[in-house]
Structure 1
Amino acid sequence: MDKLVFVTGHKNPDTDSICSAIAYAELKKKLGVNAVPKRLGDINRETEFVLKHFGVEMPEHLFTVKTQVADLNVDQAFPVSSDISIKTAWHLMKKNNIKTIPVIDDHERLLGIVTLSDITNNYMDALDNNTIASTRTTLRNIAETLNATLICGSQEDFETTGKVVVAAVEPDDLHSFVEPGDIVITGNRLDIQLKALEYGTTCLIITCGGDPSQELIEEARSRNIVLLTTPIDTYTTVRLVNQSIPVGAVMTSQNLISFNIDDFIDDIQDKMLKTRYRSYPIVDDNNRIQGFISRYHLISQRKKNVILVDHNEKSQTVNGIEEAEILEIIDHHRLGDIQTASPIFLRNEPVGSTSTIVANMFFEMGIRPSKGIAGILCSAILSDTLKFKSPTSTYVDRMTAEKLAEIAGIDDMDKYANQMFKEGSSLQGKTLKEIFYQDFKDYTFGKYRIGIGQVFTMDREKISEMEDSLIAFMKQLCAEKGYHLLMLFVTDILDQASEVLFSGEEKELISLAFNVDLGENSVCLPGIVSRKKQVVPLISAAVDK
């Protein structure tokens, strides 16, 4: 399936924003697109009621579409455990043409990294002949590195505490070099082999494919000494034996710089430029390795794909939209300020609800929406058109809603709408901030930043009790966020009228737009119920005067 596509409505989502996103994502999936609905804020009570009523899951919250590490074509990781030999790690690097390997624990969590430089530096600096003991190298590593055969002994018997010695002297002189716990490398001279056992070696390695005598084997067993034979010559054996040490002994684990798969590119660029390492490990939230990133990966960014529904203004859309690829816009509002790098599919119709457009796209393509999808689309149309009483409502909205109601099993749309409005207009338990932002949109009109919120209610008295507190909240918000004007339309669903609470230096725009005399912080506007059709165009015209 193609890359993931996010379908999202606007910030401070209403029912139409959420339901149209869910439904359009479902339609795109039926058309073979890997689409997922998202939301840009908490849902209101009306939307919660609708989704619960029709058994549809709430979309997950999308906070940003800024480019993240996950959007890059990073290098694959080839993790190893800390006990494998550096020789094995070296061959893994050569085989996969890589220079860095992550070291992980038994739970696949990152312990450190081993680079080509770590291995070569260790090999070149190996002047200490007790490296095998100090790194607690296992017998298995030694046997694998030397391609050796175990004649007798076991890992339990292999408790080297000394150094590696090459027995290249006469037997009587060996005592000057071999101490208990040493590893002795020798050829096929039985007298030297027996002397090494006598002096307490913990492991005897016979080179050149030497065949140990039965006497030697029995002596080694009696002393619990490990006996190995290798087909490799003595010189090569000496060169290779230190390559058996575990990568855990040479890996970098302290002050390790790693990035999370969800980190934003903007956040990691400076750190990469300051440290200048060849590559950096990428981990998930459980510290499990996901790959490696280098500076050149920053030019291979894959933008997130986004479809916008029920809005087309930058101030209302997801954070980081300038770093994303907008594929489509499905909307019923005025054209805003969003710009795209290439042509896109745009469907913008003068209807009362984006859900009307989405529903008809189902029908045009011969796809019957499921009961749940039909139910939430019908609900969104009823909500956005105020049960077809809004001036934005059209004949198309009504006909589409009736068709959807039949599919969804809504026998009485009027009764269902009243129930939905009642659930949605309840303000019980809500804070001032929640009330103000439950359906709020940011607009830019010329040089003015104006915010317009709307609250639908069937209990006007409850709002009246909160007016002073709401106005104080708006005044504070104007000062903090730099708004020229804030308006909150408190719309009475039954009386089809709105009271406007306002704050800001440019409040005279309201007087110009609606030709009314203003109170100190409020004004009543009979017949005004639609922000899209009755408010935004008039405010825009007032700004232009």
Structure 2
Amino acid sequence: MADTVYITGHKNPDTDSICAAIAYAELKRKLGINAIPVRLGDINKETEFVLEYFNIPAPEYLATVRTQLSDLDIDIISPAWPEVSIKTAWTIMKKNNVKVIPVVDENEKFLGLVTTSDITKKYMDMLENDIIAYSKTPLMNIVETLNAKLICGSQKDFNTTGRVVIPAMNPEEMGAFVSKGDIVIDGSKKETQIKAIELGANCLIVTYNGSVDEEVVELARKNKCILMIAPGDTFTTARLINQSIPVGYVMTSTNVVSFNINDFVDDIKDEMLRTRFRSYPVLDDEQKVRGFISRYHLISRKRKKVILVDHNERSQTVDGIEQAEILEIIDHHRIGDIQTGYPVYFKNEPVGSTSTIITNLYFDKGIRPSKNIAGILCAAIISDTIKFKSPTCTPMDINTAQKLSEIAELDIDRFASEMFRRGSSLRGKSLEKILYNDFKEVRLGKFKFGVGQINASDRESLSEIKDDLIKYMNDICTFKDYDLLILLVTDIINVGSEVLFAGREKSIAQKAFNVGAGEDSVYLNGVVSRKMQIIPQLAAAVQ
């Protein structure tokens, strides 16, 4: 599947930011690109109304684009079950040229690891004569390991002591060596086979692909002795049988260093350097194995692919952007401080809404947006231009919105009134929600400003919380080290804004808006645009 491209607007998103991301992702998908829209914060009441009206789900929240393990081409290694023999595990490792296999349970949840070192060390140290019993080796492991043919018996009959005996003596002398429950390996001597069964052997393995007399078979069935024929010689069979023990016996299941598929690469580097293992299992939230990571994977890391809409400043964009690959920027604001390592497609136009640009990208491609996409694009233009009253509004915005309204079968006047009504009340909103409803960080020279904006037609509700809001703004200035915080509470109907300001450089706002010292707010008639009517005034005051 093609790499995912994340399309995102700015932090504290407004309607234009959200709708532009959704619509552009839809256009990219029509062009064969696996694009998904994301958001960098909660959607406001106005945007919520727009999305519900046109029956479009809100984009998923994206906290960061820092590189995660899920972004890497980690090694995919098929797991083994704990009952699998070490011979089978070894064969798989050699065939796939790997030195480790994850061990999982019946629900595919991670139990531990088995490595080539685990197998060789355990096999070389295997001095216990009852290892097959102690390790609870399944009968079929022995059959498969020896490539044997099972003549009679089953797992329920397999109750061995695990002790393996090769009777190299006369049958009458075997009583001193063969005990009940033993595994006996023999050539093709009928007398030895009968004696072994009579002495209580739990399993009889006949080597050299030898034939077994019917009398021996009947006696084995009668005594519930498992009988099988192996193709190898007696020495080879004796050497191989211990390779049938299950990997669950030799695997490492404690103190295993593992990582989660959603872990950030930066967060696991130190642990990998400290422990110095060859590779590490990567698990998901359900403890299922997703693959293995080694140090060389960190060298060739893949970056998340991102398209930015409605912003081009680092302070407004997604966290971890320096680790992402920016493919495009579509915006209608001033050029900010986003940097890329190579040229990208950057479309910046002096219009009133990013959604105007997105719409015309549809038309340029000869693609007609669907009815609901046309609806949200039209709503975004209406919102960002304050129904064409903002000084940022251009004839292109008006013409584009008109085309979209025809596609969406939308009455602009009626829809705009309902949309602004739904999003304009301050009552019931927290101070934080009011300040950060549509908030942007701006740097002018050596100063760090924060400028928020919210639409509210009921100035009475503002007067009720104004003192608390200014106090909250002062606290935020101290906490986040802003020189100046400004909040526009915009009255869409009467076309004006109550401008609140706080911070140690409050005098810059007083100078910009020609208000006296000691004042912390002013009503500016006709002012509705942060971009065209507030930030330029602040820039002039700073200079």
TM-score range, shorter chain: over 0.9
Output the amino acid matched with 1:257: V
* Counterparts of 1:169 and 1:67, CA distance in 2: 68
Assess if the C-alpha contact under 8 Å between 2:85 and 2:246 holds in 1: yes
Checking the alignment, whether the CA contact within 8 Å between 2:427 and 2:461 is kept in structure 1 is no
Q: Is the 8 A contact 1:141 1:245 kept in 2?
A: yes
CA shift for structure 1 position 191: 2.1
Q: Report what 2:307 is aligned to.
A: 307
Paired with 2:61 and 2:435, the residues of 1 have a C-alpha distance of: 20
The letter of the residue matching 1:535 is I
Query: 8 Å contact 1:162–1:179 — kept in the other structure?
Result: no
The corresponding residue for 1:145 is: 145
1:496 alignment counterpart: 495
Q: Which amino acid in the other structure matches residue 511 of structure 1?
A: Q
Contact 1:154 1:226 in 2 (8 A): yes
Q: Which moved more, 1:515-524 or 1:355-364?
A: 515-524
2:530 paired residue number? 531
Is 1:24 the counterpart of 2:24? The answer is yes
**Residue 386 (str. 1) matches residue 386 (str. 2):** yes
Hey, what does 1:373 align to over in structure 2?
373
Cα offsets for 1:237-279 (capped at 9, x unmatched)? 1110000011111111112111111110011111111111111
Pair 1:466 & 2:465 matched:
yes
Alpha-carbon separation, structure 2, partners of 1:290 and 1:231 = 39
Q: CA deviation at 1:188?
A: 1.4
Instruction: Tell me how far 1:76 sits from its aligned partner.
Output: 1.3
Q: Displacement of 1:165 after TM fit? A: 1.5
Partner of 1:482: 481
Query: Match for residue 242 of structure 1?
Result: 242
Secondary structure at the counterpart of residue 291 of structure 1: strand
Amino acid at match of 1:225: C
SS in 2 for 1:217: helix
Q: Specify the alignment match of 1:457 in structure 2.
A: 456
Q: In the alignment, which residue of structure 1 is the partner of 2:211?
A: 211
Aligned to 2:168: 168
Corresponding residue SS for 1:297: helix
Determine the C-alpha separation between the residues in 2 that align with 1:498 and 1:519: 19
Q: Is the 8 A contact 1:162 1:180 kept in 2?
A: no
Query: 1:177, CA displacement in angstroms?
Result: 2.1
Match runs of 1:300-379 below 5 Å: 300-379=300-379
Q: Which amino acid in 2 is paired with 1:422?
A: R
Say how many residue pairs are matched.
Answer: 543
Instruction: State the SS of the aligned residue for 1:337.
Output: coil
State the shift of 1:235 in Å.
Answer: 0.8
Following superposition, the deviation at residue 525 of structure 1 comes to: 2.1
Cα offset, 1:445, TM superposition: 2.0
Q: How big is each residue's C-alpha offset from its partner over 1:151-203, in whole Å with a ceiling of 9 and x where there is no partner?
A: 11111111112411121222233222222111111111222222211221110
Letter in 1 for 2:66: K
Quote how far apart the aligned CAs of 1:28 are.
1.0
CA shift digits 1:257-309 (9 cap, x unpaired) = 11111110011111111111111111111111111100111011110000000
Instruction: State the match for 1:232 in structure 2.
Output: 232
Q: State whether structure 2 residue 54 is matched by structure 1 residue 54.
A: yes
Give, in angstroms, the shift of residue 518 of structure 1: 4.6
Q: Residues 466-516 of structure 1: CA distance to partner in whole angstroms, max 9, x if unpaired?
A: 111111211211111111111111111122221222211111111232333
Answer yes or no: is the 8 Å Cα contact 2:40–2:63 preserved in 1. Answer: yes
Inter-partner Cα distance in structure 1 for 2:135 and 2:307: 56
Q: TM-score, normalised by structure 2?
A: 0.98
Q: Distance in 2 between matches of 1:340 and 1:220?
A: 78
Using the TM superposition, name which of 489-498 and 172-181 deviates more.
172-181
Task: Give the Å deviation of 1:81.
Answer: 1.1
Equivalent residue number for residue 77 of structure 2: 77
Q: Would the alpha carbon gap of residues 460 and 198 (structure 1) be closer, same or farther in structure 2, given more than 3 Å must change?
A: same
Residue by residue over 1:343-363, the C-alpha shift from the partner in whole angstroms, topping out at 9 and shown as x without a partner, is: 000100000000011111111
Taking the TM superposition and a 5 Å limit, the aligned residue runs for 1:427-442 are 427-442=426-441
Q: Deviations over 1:446-484 (max 9, x none)?
A: 222211111111111111101111112112111111111
Mapped to 2, the partners of 1:518 and 1:281 lie a distance apart of 63
Are the counterparts in 1 of residues 153 and 226 from structure 2 also a CA contact under 8 Å?
yes
One-letter identity of the residue aligned with 2:163: K
Aligned-partner Cα distance in 1 for 2:164–2:133 = 9
Give the gaps of 5 or more residues in structure 1: none
2: CA distance between counterparts of 1:168 and 1:243? 23
Partner Cα separation in structure 1 for residue 431 and residue 400 of structure 2: 36
Where in structure 2 are the equivalents of 1:243-262 lying within 5 Å? 243-262=243-262
TM-superposed CA distance for 1:5, in Å, is 0.3
Q: Indicate conservation of the 8 Å contact 1:8/1:38, yes or no.
A: yes
Matched with 2:98 is: 98
Distance 1:89 1:83 in 2: 10
Please say if residues 510 and 519 of structure 2, whose CA atoms lie closer than 8 Å, have aligned partners that are also in contact. Answer: no
Instruction: Report SS of the residue matched to 1:10.
Output: coil
C-alpha separation in 2, matches of 1:521 and 1:426: 22
CA distance in 2: counterparts of 1:393 and 1:476, whole angstroms: 35
Q: Aligned equivalents of 1:197 and 1:175: distance in 2?
A: 11
Structure 1 stretch displaced more, 283-292 or 41-50 = 283-292
CA deviation map 1:63-116 (0-9, x unaligned):
110000011111111111111111011111111111111111111111111111
- Aligned to 2:487, the other structure's residue is in SS state strand
Identical residues among aligned pairs (%): 60
Determine the structure 2 residue equivalent to 1:542.
541
Paired amino acid for 1:479:
T
Given that 1:305 and 1:327 are in contact with CA atoms closer than 8 Å, whether structure 2 keeps it comes out as yes
Shift of 1:216: 1.1
Counterpart AA for 2:456: T
State the 1:329 CA deviation: 0.3
Contact 2:303–2:324, Cα closer than 8 Å, also in 1: yes
TM-score when normalising by structure 1:
0.98
TM-fit CA distance, 1:519: 4.2
1:422, 1:91 → 2: CA distance?
A: 70
Aligned partner of 1:278 in structure 2 is 278
SS of residue in 1 equivalent to 2:137: coil
CA separation of 1:119 and 1:219: change in aligned 2, threshold 3 A? same
